[in-house]
Amino acid sequence: MPIDIETFERESEFDTGRTHAERILSFLLSNDDKAFRRQEIADATDIEPNAVSAVLSRLKERGLVRHKPPYWAVGDRDRIRSAVDLGRSLEALNDQLGVEDMDAWRDASAETPHPNERDGEAQ
């Protein structure tokens, strides 16, 4: 799918490894003087419109985007910066220590009795 020359000039790289949330936030941040309809965001990010809706809802819950139906705009920059910093920190920890195995955590949790339990009976 071709892109317009403004998008070509604005984007530093077209990394398909980014998450939908990262792609949507990047688009909204680079167009912070505008608000967009869901379909416009979908077209600009090449993400399926229903997926855009789900991601926008999660981003709104976290204060990363603003919504006045039917428009969406970038949210609080400090919150976005904090979220990006946290993501980078987690990525660095995963690189250094390895990715957590959630199934192993669940298995260990199931094997460990609750602190309020003694001899298999709840108190």
| Helix, coil or strand: residue 32 | coil
pTM of the model: 0.62
Higher pLDDT, 121 or 59: 59
Query: Contact at 8 Å (CB) between 65 and 79?
Result: no
**What pLDDT, on a 0 to 100 scale, did the predictor assign at position 114?**
65
**What pLDDT, on a 0 to 100 scale, did the predictor assign at position 95?**
84
What value does the mean pLDDT take over residues 89-108? Answer: 83
**What pLDDT, on a 0 to 100 scale, did the predictor assign at position 50?**
95
Q: Which of 105, 112, 7, 73 is nearest to 64 (CA)?
A: 73
Question: What is the residue-averaged pLDDT of the chain?
Answer: 84
